[in-house]
Structure 1
Amino acid sequence: MTDLLALPAADPTTTEGSAAWAAWVGERAASELAAARALVEQVRTADPGDPRAVLRLWDRAGGHLGNAAAVGSLLGNVHPALEVRDIAETAEQDAQRLATEWSLDRGLYDVFAALDADALAGDPLAQRMLAKVRNDFRRSGVDRDEETRARISAISERLTQLDQEFSKVARDDVRTVRVAPDRLAGLPEDWRAEHPVDEDGLVTVTTDYPDAIPVRMFARDQGLRRDITTAFLERGWPTAEPLLTEMFALRHELATTVGFEDWPSYDADVKMIGTGAAIPEFIDRIADAAADPLERDLAVLLERYRRDFPDATAIEPFDASHYQELVRAEQYQVDSQQVRTYFDFTRVRQGLLEVTGRLFGLRYEPVQVASWHADVASYDVYAARGEREGALLGRIYLDLHARDGKYKHAAQFTLVDGVAGLQAPEGVLVCNFSRGLMEHDHVVTLFHEFGHLLHHVLAGHGDWFRFAGVATEWDFVEAPSQMLEEWAWDAEVLQSFATDASCAPIPAELVAKMRAADDYGKGIYARTQMFYAAMSYWFHRDPADTSAGATPPDLTERMIELQGRYAALPYLEGTHMFASFGHLGGYSSGYYTYMWSLVIAKDLFSAFSDGALFDPEVAGRYRDRVLARGGEADAADLVADFLGREYSFDAYGRWLRR
């Protein structure tokens, strides 16, 4: 195993420390980009008679480029010092600029066009690599004239800037509501203890998840629920709209310039779904399948709501979370505040490691290494069974609590992609959880996101950077993580780490009620997801050509129209949730991915029979044939290899109707 990356030992919270970090980021990016450039110069003069060697040079150059982009993306989202975040974002821009430059270089394209694919017979991964590289060039527009290539380059650079600016707006726009403490009735005692009264006799509630979600669920004061929901849905407004409008228009221009009808068609061309036109078809299929479950869910919710508001014809959107919680408590006997008492953060984190270690044959050893914040916990990952038993597989960093200037959602970030003999995989989990008791939904989220981290580490031991880590089609990326959520719903699994203050494990009967209560809201969940997916698709499908002087579309109006067509809940007057919907950046037109992946995840999980969640044969086969393969084969083929058949909609349909 190669050495792991050494991060600066300087304290990132001091002036001197942040300067040291800034220098390290700049030097890391510069050295990696220089190494990438040197290898690409070798590609230009390499012997075409050895296509495998040419491809290897290109792949290694891509690995160095990825190292620069990864450190930029990660530290631009998590480092506490603004100076470091700015330099990191510049590093990511520089890496993207160089990638674009290469993609539009006709000389480089000619090198790969001239390679003899037949000479790679017997090496299917090298053949796959050549096909991928040629397709990359085809999609880049390298065959266009010089003026067009220059325009494509300018668009690509501007899109990187816009994506970063939009992410920054969504990350940094934290809004607050200040309330008298008596308005916090219903909130858990531990939450209230963490929110002291200030010198004005008020309590500040932010729109960060650890604040906003409990308030929306538990606060008895309807006005407070309305205020925090409104503030939450207003994040990013109005700053984000012109950024998004320009982003959508430029993506459309880029796609049409390289020969596609629109951006969704361009984006879907390299995904499992295949075509842009298939996206709205999939959205409508899920929306139709969820129609009856949604009707049942809303009827139950409205019946409970009318006990408090007899004249209501629909539930107010700012009341939905609270009344869903009341339904679970009253009809399913699930009190989320009681449930929280079993999910102490420290025990949950350790339980996650024990569960996934047992499942996949791994051992996590805590290590004291330098990182960007004192909250970060680091572990080296070892193989605990199989042919590689005892081998170091990589390193993970868990950055799991909210703070100013940090990415506001939950995601896995790459620090280093892994390739056998060159560098070990290192990944980072970035979340925003409470330091004390967790909602069970957050436990599920932690399992989900850790699934991405495992995918990254386990698929970091092949021969090609191109296929390392989570390198599969983007609409399959969520499936392994969604499947891992199932272990956060099993009573025996939960009882191994979910204990209350007296060390009593969570009762199996309570877990069964939690599962039944979770089933109650599936129709609402599915239609909400389809609203998000439709917004993601149609914002990109019909952008205004602002370069031709057209009037930009009103994104709020479009959002309201799509919400009315697909969503479970009505629009909250005066809000603009798209302005902080960060997935419009990274997922672009492909937010349907989450539900597409869930369909596959339910099918994958069907291989684990009841009571056999730790079957070593099934788990090992899944680990080796799906996770560890990364992007070495098409996702549909990986799934078929594991299941012994093609994936189907059946398991998802049964789950949705249950």
Structure 2
Amino acid sequence: MNMLLKAFNTPHDAAPFSKITNADYVPAFEAAIAETRAEIDQIVNQQEAASFDNTLAAMAFAGMRLDRISNLFFNLHSAETNDELDKIAQEVAPKLSKLSNDITLNFALFERVKAVYDQKDSLGLSEEQQTLLAKTYKDFVRNGALLPEDKKQTLREIDEQLSLLKLSYGEHVLADSNAYQMHIMDPQDLEGLPEGAIEAAKELAQEEEKEGWIFTLDYPSYIPFMTYAKSRERRKELAIAAGKKAYQANENNNESLVLKIVNLRHQRANLLGYASHAHFVLEERMAQDPQTVLKFLNDLLAKAKPAADKEFAELAAYAKELDQIEQLEKWDGSYYSEKLKQLKFNLDDEKLKPYFQLENVLQGAFDIAHKLYDLNFKEVGTIDKYHEDVQTFEVRDNHGGLVAIFYADFFPRKGKRNGAWMTSFKSQYRKDGQDERPHVSIVCNFTKPTASKPSLLTFNEVLTLFHEFGHALHGMLADTTYPNLSGTSVFWDFVELPSQIMENWCYEEEALALFAKHYQSGENIPMEYVEKIKESAAFLEGLATVRQLSFGLLDMGWHGQDPSHIQELKKFELAQFASTSMYPDVADNAMSPSFSHIFNGGYSSGYYSYKWAEVLDADAFSYFQEKGIFNKEVATKFKENILAKGGTAHPMKLYKQFRGQEPQVEPLLKRAGLID
């Protein structure tokens, strides 16, 4: 019997990973797609006049089995993939795209939605119901419900092509990442590297039955090498390999895919009556339109660029003085930044890492969530998992009620894509008097424990864990009726607020005291280190800000105009980077072929939202600082107005309910050291 097509009968209805086989997926998808179609047909063909309950609420709960299967499958496709899953993804993606279009282009269904929408003011709907109605109506219109039949068909074809192109794009990036290794035989090439990085590289070589040391493009291997390796030649080799991902003469080259994706997105937007893909996307964001985004990015750039120029000049002068470097290159940035940081603050990651044992940092995140939101985390062995590295937790409130199931997956492996993300295996919703609690997961790529050392995090990795945990809290604390408004189902430029605000606790003495303890002696992190962490937080922030803005501007370049004139990807990129570039260009590198956030993730026309959310998070955290970082009243307001509410109301309204005012940009500029 196909496990995906029957009741799981597991503790908390958790996914029975060990009982699901790859052969289950395609038949399960096909059956669940058919079931979803039947549910939609039932809504369309009923005799009763359209009402909120029999149409909108019924639609919100249609396809629940399919959602669950999709969540399980596509999460594994990111965290634990193999060739077979890649093939299944290619097979099911067009089927899911077709179903989605069959629903949004179903005119009879749209007519029922429109009938309810036209009388919305007289129905006495709650705010959440009003939001669901407006969102559903808009989704139909934004997905072609008002188009004539021939254009609807064109839209279907575009969507199907896009779903496959995006999958191929992601697979190419992963394939090129996995294919590369820097195999070192000369111990001199390891000079400057931390002991832990050398040990991990040695273990990797041993796994492959090779002598020497192996470094890869996985972050726990790549970042320490670029930050500490004295050998400039080897840094250059590794940096160029990273910049060539999906941009070299092999079957994984993504140049033509990028051009196809942006042109199809533009055609789709035009078909629906929008000037560009960015105009289409931003209509459903806090920013509203491309002009607002470009003004936001360029205003910040005007404030950050003078600081960045000054910082770059200082870095270049330092590299020249130290090592007679005449021209600072991209592979020098992290290395000399770290050296200069050590010189200025006498603080490096290697000094800090012993205080950031992974288990302690995770427990620290749990303790902070307990102090703020009354959450209690308990590791349990009764919940099935998809890999032995995964940890599983029950999350309960102070009365013992189940709040969520939490999965944590921390280490790199072959079938797992780079980076860090939060995802969900099951949404929160309320139905038939039952409050169904969410199953939430965070996935990272931290250094694995070695024979002699536990997993010790860099301070940046501590920030990453807290960031993803912030997203997880948004999912866990969801308190809504409809699954499609729950948790992180919010405007994309609002979704980073809960994650980015969590990073702030990592700089606070009161919070660090909970978890920053030496892994051998158990002593608390010295106060001078805490002071230095705070002081160094704004170190080279001008350069970091300009780099982040450059990505947002590249995204808007691809999506904020008609891309049909773009012939050469590299030439176009250079033009987009003209106002932000600091380092000389590297001829055989390009960013777009592996810029997964915007070509394979959900960030197209939305990369600016990281900076946008930083404005929100700096302003929101300044409220905590004013009242106390564990102030219960402020935490409760944040929980009730932001974390619990999901997408049930406009984010600016929710923010003002929490903060009592619109967000101000000054706290961010102060925090970044860009104004006094």
Letter in 2 for 1:111: R
Q: Distance in 2 between matches of 1:250 and 1:346?
A: 45
Deviation, structure 1 residue 99: 1.3
Residue in 2 that maps onto 1:294: 308
Letter in 1 for 2:640: D
1:5 aligns with 2:13: yes
Q: Secondary structure at the match of 1:281?
A: helix
Q: Secondary structure at the match of 2:407?
A: strand
Q: Secondary structure at the match of 2:429?
A: coil
User: Any conservation in 1 of the 2:10–2:16 contact (CA below 8 Å)?
Assistant: no
Residue in structure 2 matching 1:374, options 363, 388, 391: 388
Q: Distance in 1 between matches of 2:634 and 2:263?
A: 46
Letter in 1 for 2:447: S
User: Any conservation in 1 of the 2:50–2:112 contact (CA below 8 Å)?
Assistant: no
User: Any conservation in 2 of the 1:76–1:89 contact (CA below 8 Å)?
Assistant: no
Q: TM-score of the superposition, structure 1-length normalised?
A: 0.93
User: Any conservation in 2 of the 1:269–1:276 contact (CA below 8 Å)?
Assistant: no
Stretch deviating more after TM superposition (22-31 or 399-408) = 22-31
Deviation, structure 1 residue 145: 1.5
Residue in 2 that maps onto 1:176: 181
Residue in 1 that maps onto 2:489: 471
Q: Distance in 2 between matches of 1:28 and 1:354?
A: 40
Residue in 1 that maps onto 2:293: 279
Q: Distance in 2 between matches of 1:91 and 1:357?
A: 41
Q: TM-score of the superposition, structure 2-length normalised?
A: 0.90
Q: Secondary structure at the match of 1:251?
A: helix
1:624 aligns with 2:640: yes
Deviation, structure 1 residue 226: 0.8
Deviation, structure 1 residue 32: 3.7
1:502 aligns with 2:541: no
Letter in 2 for 1:492: E
1:42 aligns with 2:42: yes
User: Any conservation in 1 of the 2:276–2:562 contact (CA below 8 Å)?
Assistant: no
Residue in 1 that maps onto 2:420: 410
1:231 aligns with 2:234: no
Residue in structure 2 matching 1:484, options 502, 508, 529: 502
Distance 1:631 1:606, change over 3 A: same
Stretch deviating more after TM superposition (614-623 or 199-208) = 199-208
Q: Distance in 2 between matches of 1:393 and 1:295?
A: 48
Deviation, structure 1 residue 101: 1.4
Q: Distance in 2 between matches of 1:138 and 1:409?
A: 35
Deviation, structure 1 residue 122: 4.2
Q: Secondary structure at the match of 2:404?
A: strand
Write out per-residue CA displacement over residues 454-496 of structure 1, whole angstroms, 9 at most, x where no aligned residue: 101111x311122111111101111111110001111231222
Deviation, structure 1 residue 292: 2.6
Q: Secondary structure at the match of 1:39?
A: helix
Residue in 2 that maps onto 1:338: 351
Q: Distance in 2 between matches of 1:581 and 1:392?
A: 38
Residue in 2 that maps onto 1:541: 560
1:588 aligns with 2:604: yes
1:76 aligns with 2:89: no
Q: Distance in 1 between matches of 2:121 and 2:583?
A: 56
Letter in 2 for 1:5: D
Letter in 2 for 1:161: L
Residue in 2 that maps onto 1:206: 216
Q: Distance in 2 between matches of 1:277 and 1:630?
A: 27
Residue in 1 that maps onto 2:451: none
Residue in structure 2 matching 1:186, options 171, 192, 197: 192
Q: Secondary structure at the match of 1:617?
A: helix
Q: Distance in 1 between matches of 2:83 and 2:435?
A: 32
Write out per-residue CA displacement over residues 534-591 of structure 1, whole angstroms, 9 at most, x where no aligned residue: 111111234543xxxx7x5211112222223213433233212222111122211211
Letter in 1 for 2:340: V
Residue in structure 2 matching 1:245, options 239, 259, 262: 259
Residue in 1 that maps onto 2:158: 155
Letter in 1 for 2:436: Q
Residue in 2 that maps onto 1:14: none
Residue in 1 that maps onto 2:142: 139
User: Any conservation in 1 of the 2:127–2:649 contact (CA below 8 Å)?
Assistant: no
Q: Secondary structure at the match of 1:429?
A: strand
Stretch deviating more after TM superposition (259-268 or 80-89) = 80-89
Q: Secondary structure at the match of 2:396?
A: strand
Q: Distance in 1 between matches of 2:456 and 2:507?
A: 17
Stretch deviating more after TM superposition (356-365 or 26-35) = 26-35
User: Any conservation in 2 of the 1:69–1:92 contact (CA below 8 Å)?
Assistant: no
Stretch deviating more after TM superposition (429-438 or 49-58) = 49-58
Equivalent runs, 1:12-51 vs 2, <5 Å: 20-26=20-26, 28-46=28-46, 47-48=48-49, 50-51=51-52
Q: Distance in 1 between matches of 2:193 and 2:641?
A: 46
Distance 1:28 1:91, change over 3 A: same
Q: Distance in 1 between matches of 2:374 and 2:632?
A: 8
Residue in 1 that maps onto 2:666: 650
Q: Secondary structure at the match of 1:55?
A: helix
Percentage of pairs with the same residue:
26
Residue in 2 that maps onto 1:638: 654
Q: Distance in 2 between matches of 1:553 and 1:476?
A: 34
User: Any conservation in 2 of the 1:75–1:88 contact (CA below 8 Å)?
Assistant: no
User: Any conservation in 1 of the 2:487–2:647 contact (CA below 8 Å)?
Assistant: yes
Stretch deviating more after TM superposition (351-360 or 618-627) = 351-360
Q: Distance in 1 between matches of 2:410 and 2:92?
A: 24
Residue in 2 that maps onto 1:13: none
Structure 1: where are the runs of 5+ without partners? 11-16
Q: Distance in 1 between matches of 2:63 and 2:310?
A: 51
User: Any conservation in 2 of the 1:264–1:276 contact (CA below 8 Å)?
Assistant: yes
Residue in 1 that maps onto 2:109: 108
Write out per-residue CA displacement over residues 253-277 of structure 1, whole angstroms, 9 at most, x where no aligned residue: 0000000001010010100000122
Stretch deviating more after TM superposition (74-83 or 363-372) = 74-83
Stretch deviating more after TM superposition (246-255 or 280-289) = 280-289
Distance 1:7 1:93, change over 3 A: farther
Write out per-residue CA displacement over residues 45-78 of structure 1, whole angstroms, 9 at most, x where no aligned residue: 3423532332111111154443343223212112
Deviation, structure 1 residue 172: 2.8
User: Any conservation in 2 of the 1:600–1:647 contact (CA below 8 Å)?
Assistant: yes
Residue in 2 that maps onto 1:397: 407
Q: Distance in 2 between matches of 1:213 and 1:231?
A: 13
Deviation, structure 1 residue 133: 1.1
Q: Secondary structure at the match of 1:61?
A: coil
Q: Secondary structure at the match of 2:12?
A: coil
Write out per-residue CA displacement over residues 288-343 of structure 1, whole angstroms, 9 at most, x where no aligned residue: 1112321332232122112135462x521100000000111001111221111211
Deviation, structure 1 residue 2: 11
Equivalent runs, 1:208-223 vs 2, <5 Å: 208-223=218-233
Letter in 2 for 1:442: E
Write out per-residue CA displacement over residues 242-261 of structure 1, whole angstroms, 9 at most, x where no aligned residue: 11111000000000000000
Q: Secondary structure at the match of 1:396?
A: strand
1:527 aligns with 2:546: yes
Q: Distance in 2 between matches of 1:573 and 1:357?
A: 50
Q: Distance in 2 between matches of 1:28 and 1:499?
A: 47
User: Any conservation in 2 of the 1:603–1:648 contact (CA below 8 Å)?
Assistant: yes
Write out per-residue CA displacement over residues 440-463 of structure 1, whole angstroms, 9 at most, x where no aligned residue: 10110110011111101111x311
Q: Distance in 1 between matches of 2:125 and 2:100?
A: 30
Structure 2: where are the runs of 5+ without partners? 1-8, 449-454
Q: Distance in 2 between matches of 1:22 and 1:330?
A: 53
Q: Secondary structure at the match of 1:472?
A: coil
Distance 1:455 1:311, change over 3 A: closer
Stretch deviating more after TM superposition (608-617 or 623-632) = 608-617
Q: Distance in 1 between matches of 2:401 and 2:27?
A: 31
Stretch deviating more after TM superposition (354-363 or 608-617) = 608-617
Residue in structure 2 matching 1:564, options 562, 578, 601: 578
